[in-house]
Amino acid sequence: MNVAFFLIPKKDIIYLKENATMRQALERMEYHSYTAVPLINSAGKYVGTITEGDLLWKLKNTPGLTFQNTEDIFLSEVEQHVQNLPVTIDAQIEDLISRAVVQNFVPVVDDQQIFIGIVRRREIIEYCSKLLLVARNPSDA
């Protein structure tokens, strides 16, 4: 089974460009109740994942930075403390499982590293759960 089966395309998810501001990220994450969002550059390439923790650390460690002036800080200036490694569209389920252990979602890129979507941990767990059920009860398949 390959990644394409689980892919949620870019058009159906929330992501941010690295030239977005901290304030835009905070507001979007709050509105959608997300704790992490994929980050892409102007060419559409995946460049990382911005997390609530990254934003909080930037706020804490930048003298004079308040919520009101987070609109002056670009996401490219915010250090990413977690590296959500992407997979390519031709990756297999095993590649997803190993990443989903430590990531809520797995970013998916094409051969040119262009961001094309994500696979959520939930879909991976549901797939594995179905496999376990079939293994226990082959007659239910």
Residues contacting residue 9 through CB under 8 Å, at least 6 positions apart: 116, 117
Distances (CA, A) of 20 to 38, 55, 70, 96, 104: 12, 13, 11, 28, 22
Query: CA torsion angle for 11, 13, 14, 16 (degrees, to 10)?
Result: -50
CATH superfamily of domain region 3-140 = CBS-domain (3.10.580.10)
What residues does each domain of the chain span? 3-140
Strand partners, 106: 119
What band does 138 get if pLDDT is binned at 50, 70 and 90? confident
Per this entry, what is the length of the chain?
Answer: 141
Q: Give tens-digit pLDDT for 15-33.
A: 999 999 999 999 999 999 9
Q: Is the pLDDT of residue 3 over 90?
A: no
Neighbours of 139 (CB within 10 A): 5
Say how far apart CA 133 and CA 141 lie, in whole Å.
9
pLDDT at 14: 95
